[in-house]
Every structure is written in C-alpha cells, then in structure tokens.
Amino acid sequence: MVPGLLLVISGPSGAGKGTLCQALREEMPEIVYSISATTRQPRPGEADGKNYYFVDKEKFQEMIAAGAFLEWALVYDNFYGTPRRPVEEALAAGKDIILEIDTQGAAQIKKSFPEGVFIFILPPSLAELEQRIRKRGTETAEVVARRLQAARAEIAALHNYDYVIVNDKVEEAVKRLKAIIIAEKCRPQRLNLKLEG
C-alpha cells in the first residue's frame, strides 16, 4: 500500500487557511483533516472535536509529557498541538491528511516527516490580511496588532515550504492546492512501482 500524503498547511492568521482547507474537503471528502488540540477558548460557531479539541492547560501539559503530540507550540498565550496517533494511523492506512498548523509546528513536523508536503498560504497583501482579521470582530486592537507583527515573522519562514499559494480567490487557490496534491502523487519516490520485465 502506498502511504498517504501528509499535507502541512501554514500561513499567517487571516490568510484563509481554514476556508481553503474546508473548501478542499468539500471537493475531496476522502482527505482526513487533522484536528488540533488547543487551550484557547472556542470562537462563535466552533465545536469541540470538530474544529479543535478544546482542553485546559493542565491536560495539555499532561499530553506533552506523554509524547502525545507530533508538534506543539505556545501561540498568543495559548497552547496548540497536533495529536500524534490519528495522523500516523491515517498515513499507514493510505489516507491523505491535512495539518493546518503554524510555522513553528511545521518546522517540528519537517524533522520527523521530511516526506511531507509543506504548503504556505499567503494573503494578497498585508492590508488585505489586516482587513480580514478585523472583519472577524473577535480580536481586540492589541491582538490585531500582535497578529500582524506575527504575520511578518511567519511570512519570513516561507522559504522552508515546498509550495506557496496566494489566497486571492478561494476557488483559484483550491485549484492550485488540488494540483499540488495530484503532482505529489505522481512523484516516483511516492509510488511503489514493481514493474516486471
């Protein structure tokens, strides 16, 4: 069996990672979506076990100590992490899986899964990014400023990625994402080719 693709999607807050991943899942429902754990509070409309596993800091730190995460980070005073077991099980079963994580987490994943496909999502501009973050209406002015400062630092890490997609129009960005998946599945090193001859 050919192992599944590990798709690591990163980009600054407000770049549209979640929107893109959701649109991709609607078009390719066979792709597994890795659900991260976090200690932050749910945003309106988010559900435990669907968007994130919402846990308290004590539980999260117990999971770190138990080696239950592929990667974890402290971001904006909250912990985020990728549970190890669901990812390893999906890949072993030949299923493609998406991890939507920040640049710190992606760097950790790259060490243990260098064969992963690392994709960075960019907004059309920093002005557009700021507008998207403000439009959410969930962050204070101070948090918006911190997110924009963090965005600049994250964008500086894009040279660590295999691909970059500018998320100007969601439909076009999803087409590019699908094209990357198709191309990666055609790489000879990913195929278990046994040709008789």
**CATH number of the domain bearing residue 154:** 3.40.50.300
pTM for the whole thing? 0.83
pLDDT per position as a tens digit, 49-77: 988 999 999 999 999 999 999 999 887 78
CB 70 within 8 Å of CB 84 = yes
State the Cα angle at 34 between 28 and 36, rounded to 5°.
145
Question: Which among 108, 111, 118, 99 is positioned nearest to 74, based on CA atoms?
Answer: 108
In a domain, 124, yes or no: yes
Q: Which residues is 117 bridged to in the sheet?
A: 7
In a domain, 195, yes or no: no
Question: What tokens appear for 60 in the block?
Answer: 């999260």
Helix or strand or coil: residue 66?
A: coil
In a domain, 72, yes or no: yes
In a domain, 197, yes or no: no
Question: Which among 5, 191, 186 is positioned nearest to 94, based on CA atoms?
Answer: 5
pLDDT per position as a tens digit, 112-141: 899 999 999 998 888 777 787 777 666 788
In a domain, 1, yes or no: no
In the chain, the number of structural domains is: 1
Q: Which domain holds residue 76?
A: 6-190
